Amino acid sequence: MTRARGRDGGPAAPRGVDVARAAGVSQKTVSRVLNGERYVSVDVRRRVLEAADRLGYRLNTAARALASGRSRTIGVVALGTALYGPASLLLGVERAARDAGYALSVVNTLEGDQGGVGGAVQSLLERGVDGIVVSEPIDEDADPLASEVPVLVLGAPAGTRTGERTIAAGVDSEALARAATEHVLDLGHPTVHHLAGPERWFAARDRLAGWRQALAARGREQPPVAEGDWSAASGYAAGRRLAARNDLTAVFAANDDMAVGLISALTDAGLRVPQDVSVVGFDDIPLAAYVRPPLTTVRQPFDAVADEGLRLLVHAIENPQAELPTAQGQPVELVVRSSTAPPPARADSGPLRHTVRPLAGEAHAPPAA
């Protein structure tokens, strides 16, 4: 295709007609796609966006905002972390927003931020965003979700209402934690220990609650909770402490990164997974299938959650008088691999005892009788 030349002899900026020709659609269809209008098929939308990207076509967003009264920008409050779950949700949000014809404006909130999530929301409102996404919400003293624009809360169970203008999209972490714990109990373990995430995170609280519910429903003892910070390093540190317990036969970790660190610590302490201790994680990160042993875990559909949530948020933005939509939720599954098995056989009816191998240079006292 021959491109028109500019006054300086260089190629002229691509026009909508160039995008239409490259995508094999009409100019009107290009306009509908780039303005985020509905009733355009997924395939046509993809072809137009790919053609626009390939040609370097940029719509005059300022003029479009003046004409529509909207900025066509969605603000995102992210937690400034590289953890797999939040990072996967953010990637899914970015892809879904682009497909819907919206740009993103991202504000990261880090631990210790004075304004926290509430300050990030206010900053986005001052930028004139049409809607806001809060990814993996954490607890704040103030209500960070009070907003004059629609707010999508990712990581909360579908149907949860956390404010007048909020939509929740996510999985039921309590139910999934119950299922993970029940899986281990069904294998014959007398109880299951829990390696929890930071209490400030709603996801960590939900998974802790699900674990407790599963044990209470079976009338099982609830051992003391170990807490990590979602990282493999914190899982390893907790694993060294848990390995010294005489009654340890199974652990449910609140995410896979901590589960991987936990398995490493148990192995270094001379315990075998799953022959001595079964381990269950949560998320199904790519590494989970390739650690030794492969990790039993709960698979989260991050892309599907982001897609559904963005679709509902865009609907709320473009239909401000309509009742807020409710997410239907996404199917999830427990992926059973080789890190869980029946508990080790006992030589007698007394308490199970482990022999824990200390690390080099580390003093280690035997478990108290």
Specify the higher pLDDT residue, 280 or 172: 280
pLDDT digits (tens, 9 = 90+) for 73-90: 999 998 767 788 888 988
Best CA proximity match to 337, nearest among 271, 276, 287: 287
DSSP 287: G
Query: What percent of the chain stands above pLDDT 70?
Result: 77
Q: Are residues 211 and 319 in the same domain?
A: no
Core vs surface per residue 320-339: b (16+ CB within 10 A) or e: eeeebbebebbebebbebeb
Residue 354 is predicted with a pLDDT of: 43
Token code pair at residue 56 = 């370097």
Best CA proximity match to 36, nearest among 351, 264, 314: 314
Q: Are residues 44 and 100 in the same domain?
A: no
Place of tokens 């999209």: 169
Q: Are residues 42 and 123 in the same domain?
A: no
Q: Are residues 167 and 311 in the same domain?
A: yes
pLDDT digits (tens, 9 = 90+) for 133-142: 988 667 654 4
pLDDT digits (tens, 9 = 90+) for 189-247: 999 999 999 998 889 999 999 999 999 999 999 999 999 999 999 999 999 999 999 99
Q: Are residues 247 and 278 in the same domain?
A: yes
Residue 245 is predicted with a pLDDT of: 95
Question: Average pLDDT, whole number, for the chain?
Answer: 82
How many Cα neighbours within 13 Å face the side chain of 161?
7
User: What is the pLDDT averaged over residues 353-363?
Assistant: 39
Question: 320, 293 in Cβ contact below 8 A?
Answer: no
Question: 196, 202 in Cβ contact below 8 A?
Answer: no
Question: 188, 343 in Cβ contact below 8 A?
Answer: yes
Q: Are residues 154 and 239 in the same domain?
A: no
Instruction: Identify whether 351 is part of a domain.
Output: no
Question: 283, 137 in Cβ contact below 8 A?
Answer: no
Alpha-carbon Rg for the chain in angstroms: 25
Q: Are residues 181 and 251 in the same domain?
A: yes
User: What is the pLDDT averaged over residues 311-326?
Assistant: 88
Best CA proximity match to 94, nearest among 326, 302, 285, 324: 302
Specify the higher pLDDT residue, 366 or 60: 60
Best CA proximity match to 52, nearest among 33, 72, 75, 78: 33
Instruction: Identify whether 367 is part of a domain.
Output: no
| Most distant CA pair in the chain, distance | 91
Question: 298, 334 in Cβ contact below 8 A?
Answer: yes
3 state DSSP class of 9: coil
- Count of domains for the chain: 3
- Count the Cβ atoms, other than its own, within 10 Å of residue 98: 15
Cα 147 → chain centroid: 23
Q: Are residues 226 and 317 in the same domain?
A: no
Residue 352 is predicted with a pLDDT of: 46
State in Å, rounded, how far the first CA of the chain is from the last one: 82
Specify the higher pLDDT residue, 13 or 238: 238
Confidence of residue 312 (pLDDT cuts 50, 70, 90): very high
Instruction: Identify whether 101 is part of a domain.
Output: yes
Token code pair at residue 313 = 């948020």
Q: What CATH number is given to the structural domain containing 245?
A: 3.40.50.2300
DSSP 163: S
Instruction: Identify whether 194 is part of a domain.
Output: yes
Question: 249, 278 in Cβ contact below 8 A?
Answer: yes
Q: Are residues 164 and 182 in the same domain?
A: no
Instruction: Identify whether 366 is part of a domain.
Output: no
3 state DSSP class of 275: coil
Residue 162 is predicted with a pLDDT of: 58
β-bridge mates for residue 103, sequence order = 73
Range of the domain at 85: 70-171+301-331
Q: Are residues 122 and 179 in the same domain?
A: no
Instruction: Identify whether 152 is part of a domain.
Output: yes
- Which of 299, 322, 344 delimits the end of a domain? 299
Instruction: Identify whether 84 is part of a domain.
Output: yes
Confidence of residue 37 (pLDDT cuts 50, 70, 90): low
Q: Are residues 91 and 113 in the same domain?
A: yes
Q: What CATH number is given to the structural domain containing 51?
A: 1.10.260.40
The amino acid at residue 341 is A
- Count the Cβ atoms, other than its own, within 10 Å of residue 369: 6
Cα–Cα–Cα angle for 263, 172, 249, nearest 5°?
Answer: 30
Contacts of 108 (CB under 8 A, 6+ apart): 78, 79, 80, 120
3 state DSSP class of 169: strand
Question: 75, 105 in Cβ contact below 8 A?
Answer: yes
Question: 283, 305 in Cβ contact below 8 A?
Answer: no
Q: Are residues 181 and 286 in the same domain?
A: yes
Instruction: Identify whether 257 is part of a domain.
Output: yes
pLDDT digits (tens, 9 = 90+) for 42-81: 788 888 888 888 888 765 544 454 445 567 899 999 876 7
